[in-house]
A and B are shown apart, each in its own frame.
Chain A
């Protein structure tokens, strides 16, 4: 009986497992195989085993550099802005204000990120914020097509993904713990440091992970707000696969990105786990 039911339970995983195998594992394998191949004259693929594509990676160093600077920076900036907001929503706000604000955070999601990012082109462009700054006497500020514009766009686009996990972790913990801490003589600052912050680490970890992983593959925001000057690895891939039709080199760049992400995410996980001190009450994702 036991084996039968456990087999039945395993069947529950089957659709997802098949999907991941066909749609994720196989394509990834194809990418790895291609990355060692040679480019055919018309942009096709010739089977081979060479490291030329990988040796050529430095040619796209800027894209890697931009991604590896702006993705962590964007994640960190989003965290700094999201945490106070999530804290306010979960702990201080009345139910009415909380609902209103949550709706305001969710509703923009109903519009495509493409359209919302286009809006930022105008906000950051010559007639937007720079002109506003001009009026109050700060002249010559250029935002659009700079890394700052990309950073602002990134923070705007990914903020909700950071706010929600933190909000949930702050919202679900027993608020009496805050009273208990105060009762034991802790000032509000110490209560925050010793109770609220440690108990929201799961939310912070989840939010940072979500935002960071998605940012590493971002291409839309740099393309629109970076004006072709602030390239991410994602933009390099679009370029290599769709414009220059260099599939083998593109595969090598993609493979390199996957490897970098695997390494950084595992280091990150390890650090977070150590920070959480093998707590069983904390599930990271």
Chain B
């Protein structure tokens, strides 16, 4: 047995040594960065997301919608300006870690991707953006809120979703518009990583302008196993409005706790809340979350394009499309549009074409076209106020996208 072990071990060690050499050697891939010339039949789009780890679910929904968009585009003939070239998604797993994300970014570039997308987590996204910049390959952010990311003077990076600034400002503006006189006090509760802190800071600073008094700001760690004490604190304060910024699992804990204690708050509004805007949230909590609001990014519910998209996603993946997924979908269309205008899959050409993007036909709930400013941010990005009514998400504000009127709790 011991001898067998030794033999096994030697074989293992030698195999590892060989793998090590193979892994390092200039193997597959053209060796040069970026995509091949415009005569290529397949254009590769890279996608780096945390497929393993805490956000696997959200990441998978983004990949799903990207694949759906690519299927649609390919079925419609691909990129006509490039002779019907087809799109292909090359997937990378950031493992929720910055250096793995960076390494995957470079791997995808080496495999010939003309443009990259990702990554759901601001910290990881920023590191990947740095790599994209250095390699001179365009990067289109699918989901990441952090504002500072785009203050670095990057020339190859773009983002279509509204950032934390937009969310917070929109929240302040919309709440001021829709609040009734009996909403006088509020408590802000949020998770303590980048997502929560970014918007949390801005809301705290600007709350006064809404005419609502902010009584307290409660933070917690997103991976917490319980929010009972946090709920005790906020129950004591008896606010009229509860503002919550968080992900799916933690917001669920919050709502569970509120329900168990029979605590009813006049108005509950999330800001970019990954729980409230998820359909599973409704199916799990039913009536208890009626009239919950969320200021979030969303697809435009009144557009036929959107309705068709929701149906095809459900048909293909047997799951409702999450709000994160819409950015995967739209990102592919933005890229396809750029490719059409560029007529080439060389990274630099794609980047230049993206700069002059002007897409009016899109599924996003924003007024105006998708266009980028000099920093690479979507000028017209906006959030909308969504409410859970009769077990469904409906947009209630601004009126341009509203499907229904906002309901108030007595």
> Are A and B genuine complex partners?
no
Q: Interface on B for A, CB 8 Å cutoff? A: none
